[in-house]
């Protein structure tokens, strides 16, 4: 038996009682990465100065399955016979494939210990938001002309005054909260932070009062649209995960929806329920340049499954809502400048109760 090109009597003695049929499994089952080798490789990488280092950590794709390490196993599925073989090899009795570990067994105790660290004791259930608690009208009345973007911001400000709806609404944005008209809402509900943070600008007279605290209801992210849709996707599953539904609302620059498209698709496939507003839209809006404008996002809403896009190029008006969401959908708010006069906008129950 050779190791590193040299014969090794120690290895030969160690495997002399192992049959040829058992030898591949013995050599392949390393119980995870060889940490001594991992540390050695990391140390060698640290010694390389003035140039980048790349470490390749190889693994066995499909470990423990009949097609382990097969080069084309990415889409392979186990047959019923192979599934039974895996069950028997793992010592799982028939019908108990999904049972939890015995709580007194070592893996069962390990799972209980981890659960104690990760999950806090159950708290009394908060009151659930019922459909009949939604008022028939929001009561936002504006002037003759208003853009959908401004109407969106004023609507959230009004919802912040509703003692029934306010506790259930969570907003988030990837560093664009002010420019997407969330400032008024933030002034009323605050910004979330795990702990109280000092106010470094106590004498500031800015339009937005940025005071992070554990009671804030707006979560400001860095410039990462992928994080935005991951957060919206999880918040939109709050009812299924914790028994208490939330109304997650996110804002994002319209063309940058594409940056987080992968997370958005997964959120929709998981049945998550949330709203996001893409603004500005169109090709003639905003002095920020073409990189911040889009005309392709509506097609994504049409083509993605379980989505309900709302695309409006006209100003907000009482003839219909500028944003909506179905039970398993998101909505994109299209914000463009007013191009004509229209009657005062009046937000009704129809505008926002399809959550």
Cβ(294)–Cβ(254) below 8 Å: yes
**How far apart are the C-alpha atoms of 274 and 245, rounded to whole Å?**
11
Cβ count near 207 (within 10 Å):
9
Q: Give the domains, in start order, of the chain with CATH numbers.
A: 2-118 (no CATH), 136-351 (3.40.50.970)
Cβ(285)–Cβ(253) below 8 Å: no
**How far apart are the C-alpha atoms of 156 and 133, rounded to whole Å?**
17
Provide the residue-wise pLDDT of the chain in tens; the chain has 355 residues.
555 555 678 888 888 898 888 887 777 665 667 788 889 999 999 998 888 889 988 777 787 788 887 888 888 889 999 999 989 988 899 999 899 999 999 999 999 999 888 877 766 767 777 777 777 777 777 777 777 778 888 889 999 999 888 999 999 999 888 888 899 999 999 999 998 887 777 776 677 888 889 999 999 998 899 999 999 999 999 888 887 888 999 998 888 888 999 999 999 989 999 998 887 655 555 566 666 767 777 777 778 877 766 544 333 332 223 333 322 233 333 333 333 333 333 333 333 332 2
**How far apart are the C-alpha atoms of 294 and 310, rounded to whole Å?**
15
Task: Tell me the C-alpha to C-alpha distance, in Å, between residue 326 and each of 230, 232, 248.
Answer: 19, 15, 13
Q: What is the largest CA-CA distance in the chain?
A: 92
Q: Pick from 299, 312, 309: which is nearest to 339 by CA?
A: 312
């Amino acid at each position: 038996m050779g190791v590193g090109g040299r014969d090794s009597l120690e290895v030969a003695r160690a495997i002399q009682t192992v049959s040829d049929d058992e030898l591949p499994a013995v050599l392949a089952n390393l119980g995870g990465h060889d940490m001594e080798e991992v540390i050695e490789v990391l140390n060698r990488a640290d010694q390389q100065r003035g140039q980048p280092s790349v470490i390749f950590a190889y693994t066995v794709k499909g470990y423990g399955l009949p097609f382990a390490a097969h080069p084309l196993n990415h889409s392979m599925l186990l047959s019923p016979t192979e599934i039974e073989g895996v069950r028997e090899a793992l010592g799982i009795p028939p019908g108990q494939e999904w049972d939890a570990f015995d709580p007194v067994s070592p893996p069962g105790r390990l799972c209980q210990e981890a659960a104690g660290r990760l999950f806090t004791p159950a708290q009394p259930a908060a009151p659930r938001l019922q459909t009949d608690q939604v008022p028939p009208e929001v009561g936002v009345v504006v002037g003759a002309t208003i853009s959908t973007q401004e109407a969106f911001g004023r609507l959230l400000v009004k919802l912040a005054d509703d003692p029934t709806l306010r506790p259930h609404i969570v907003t988030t944005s990837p560093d664009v909260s002010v420019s997407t008209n969330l400032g008024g809402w933030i002034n009323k509900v605050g910004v979330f932070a795990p702990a109280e943070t000092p106010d470094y600008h106590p004498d500031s007279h800015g339009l937005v009062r940025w005071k992070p605290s554990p009671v804030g209801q707006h979560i400001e992210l860095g410039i990462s649209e992928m994080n935005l849709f991951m957060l919206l996707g999880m918040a939109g599953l709050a009812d299924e995960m914790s028994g208490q539904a939330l109304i997650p609302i996110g804002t994002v620059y319209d063309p940058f929806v594409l940056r987080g498209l992968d997370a958005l698709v997964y959120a929709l496939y998981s049945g998550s329920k949330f709203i996001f507003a893409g603004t500005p839209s169109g090709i003639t809006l905003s002095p920020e340049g073409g990189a911040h404008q889009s005309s392709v996002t509506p097609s994504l809403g049409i083509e993605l499954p379980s989505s309900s896009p709302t695309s409006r190029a006209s100003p907000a008006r009482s003839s219909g809502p500028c944003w909506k969401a179905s039970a398993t959908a998101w909505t994109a708010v299209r914000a463009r400048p007013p191009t004509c006069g229209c009657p005062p906008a009046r937000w009704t129950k129809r505008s926002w109760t399809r959550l």
